[in-house]
Chains A and B, each alone.
Chain A
């Protein structure tokens, strides 16, 4: 972690020295500690650190009454997920209702320095889909595709279940302001976080208004043996299956030989 802090400090210094030019009222510069997360056989989840700085470029900007507020949104690869609900039928608990969530984020983290409702007004929160519950979650509703009210049971329980698996995260203290203009956020990725591209979107607010935003990305990829196995299973299914079956027979035969007593 200290290594990342050092790197980040160097990056910040470079930014501060080079990038002071008048442009918009505020400039937002961010840097993430890693652009690639490598999944190998001892991967048990990890975290990525995001550093950033907000530079007030005009005198007006420098006179802002309150400090800056930050909202960091991390969106993982899209997935289609089926949610089911059990009900009692003839004394037996069984899946009765189901709802399909189409192309929703497999991973979603909303990190901010204070609750989003305190950063800006309710309309803006909803319009910008700031909070975890405000995110658009398209669902198959009959023949239509659309989102439903926030407190609708299927939707609410979907978010709850995702949060239980740490795949949906909302942290109102997830962004730390190191100085009034320099901030740090830690994105924690559980081991179940799927392989793919992750978008990191950073928004800066002051006095309840969105000033500027920037985005970057990182990816989670499998490497080495893990990648080899995953590719083999996907691309050469039959061969992979035959190999696994042979492996099973060899293992069984080997055990029978090793444990032979008679």
Chain B
């Protein structure tokens, strides 16, 4: 069934978009990521202009992560204090990211920068996650105990001042690395137009040793706030948020996220990390492929202001 989108100015198949929302929502609920790095390319692929896609996806991610936050909240696996501290760094990072974005655009090298940073970031993060989780799974199969969460093991991060206790995550760390991680996520998100959940989850696990149980719910709090404000900012400045498209994506997304969250809860941590790692790696390789292989059409046209 075709439906005409009032802002994107083209008709789309409502069931196709709903299905995309469901699929990405499932992944987003399962791994606690926004799924923007999957949804935006999908929308562009079906013919929606990149600017409308990025702007509308923000509200879809907000809806998915809101539904996710509520279900994780009920399971008491959201560390609100940690989420708010990350957010503080995130806002500053977004501001710096937007500034650099504008600078790169004026230099005319934005496309290349985005393409290369997608490849590097996704392949590196995906590769590291796959490597780590495969080791963990192998260790388990050999009957050795799973990676011990060394309560007293300290890295240099723990030597920093401004220590805070995050009760729900059962960690006691300095606020500085928390802010730094928030800053990096905000920065990368603004430059690459993604929520950054897939980066945040591994960073929280590896650097701050946040337990897998609370990491997803907490990451979703950050995603919810940044994406809801991104929706408002996109709508107020570029007028490119398609509410009809957003609503179809949201309905699919929230339903998918519910099932995804349940599937995630029933899965072992290292399996979950392996799956997410493979997914991130696959998307990274897809972008690499796009950069290296000669495109079918060397030329492209775009209405001025629509990117």
List chain A positions with a Cβ less than 8 A from chain B: 39-45, 79-88, 91-95, 100, 154, 157-158, 160-162, 191-192, 194-195, 222, 225-227, 229-230, 233-234, 237-238, 240-245, 247-249, 251-256, 259-260, 262
Specify which chain A residues have a CB less than 8 angstroms from the CB of B294 in the assembled complex: 88, 93
Measured CB to CB, the nearest residue on chain B to A240 is B235
Is B282 positioned at the interface, with any CB of A under 8 Å from its CB? no
Is B41 positioned at the interface, with any CB of A under 8 Å from its CB? no
Which of B64, B231, B236 contacts A252, CB < 8 Å? B64
Nearest CB of B to A180, in Å:
40
Specify which chain B residues have a CB less than 8 angstroms from the CB of A241 in the assembled complex: 231-236, 241
Q: Would B300 and A84 count as touching, CB distance under 8 A?
A: yes
Specify which chain B residues have a CB less than 8 angstroms from the CB of A244 in the assembled complex: 59, 231-232, 235, 241, 243, 246
Nearest CB of B to A223, in Å:
11
Q: Would B236 and A248 count as touching, CB distance under 8 A?
A: no
Measured CB to CB, the nearest residue on chain A to B256 is A255
Q: Would B237 and A85 count as touching, CB distance under 8 A?
A: no
CB under 8 Å from chain A, chain B span 222-238? 227-229, 231-237
- Stretch of B66-74, B95-103, B130-138, B163-171 with 4 or more beta carbons under 8 angstroms from chain A: B66-74
Task: Give Cα distance in the complex from A249 to B231, angstroms.
Answer: 12
Q: Would B298 and A87 count as touching, CB distance under 8 A?
A: yes
Is B116 positioned at the interface, with any CB of A under 8 Å from its CB? yes
Specify which chain B residues have a CB less than 8 angstroms from the CB of A191 in the assembled complex: 4, 10-11
List chain B positions with a Cβ less than 8 A from chain A: 2-4, 6-7, 9-11, 59-60, 62-71, 74, 111-112, 115-116, 227-229, 231-237, 239-241, 243-244, 246-247, 250-251, 254-255, 257-258, 290-295, 297-304
Q: Would A81 and B304 count as touching, CB distance under 8 A?
A: yes
Task: Give Cα distance in the complex from A240 to B242, angstroms.
Answer: 10
Q: Would A238 and B66 count as touching, CB distance under 8 A?
A: no
Nearest CB of A to B51, in Å:
13
A-B pairs with beta carbons under 8 Å apart, 26 shown: A42-B4, A42-B11, A82-B303, A84-B299, A85-B298, A93-B293, A94-B112, A94-B291, A158-B299, A194-B9, A229-B243, A233-B240, A234-B239, A240-B241, A240-B243, A244-B232, A247-B247, A248-B60, A248-B62, A251-B63, A252-B69, A253-B66, A256-B66, A256-B67, A256-B254, A259-B71
Closest 4 CB pairs of A and B: A241-B235, A252-B66, A255-B254, A256-B70
Task: Give Cα distance in the complex from A241 to B237, angstroms.
Answer: 10
Specify which chain B residues have a CB less than 8 angstroms from the CB of A94 in the assembled complex: 111-112, 115, 291
Specify which chain B residues have a CB less than 8 angstroms from the CB of A248 in the assembled complex: 59-60, 62-63, 66, 227-228, 231, 246, 250
Nearest CB of B to A152, in Å:
12
Task: Give Cα distance in the complex from A255 to B63, angstroms.
Answer: 9
Q: A241-B232, A248-B231, A251-B251 are in contact. Are A92 and B258 (CB under 8 A)?
A: no
Q: Would B70 and A158 count as touching, CB distance under 8 A?
A: no
Q: Would A85 and B299 count as touching, CB distance under 8 A?
A: yes
Nearest CB of A to B16, in Å:
14
Which of A95, A234, A255, A262 contacts B258, CB < 8 Å? A255
Specify which chain A residues have a CB less than 8 angstroms from the CB of B301 in the assembled complex: 81-84, 158, 161-162
Q: Would A225 and B6 count as touching, CB distance under 8 A?
A: yes
Which of A43, A233, A245 contacts B228, CB < 8 Å? A245
Specify which chain A residues have a CB less than 8 angstroms from the CB of B70 in the assembled complex: 252-253, 256
**Apart from A83-B300, A251-B251, A251-B254, what 4 extra A-B contacts exist at CB < 8 Å?**
A86-B298, A88-B294, A251-B250, A253-B70
Nearest CB of B to A171, in Å:
22
Nearest CB of A to B72, in Å:
10
Nearest CB of B to A163, in Å:
11
Q: A93-B294, A238-B232 are in contact. Are A255 and B67 (CB under 8 A)?
A: yes
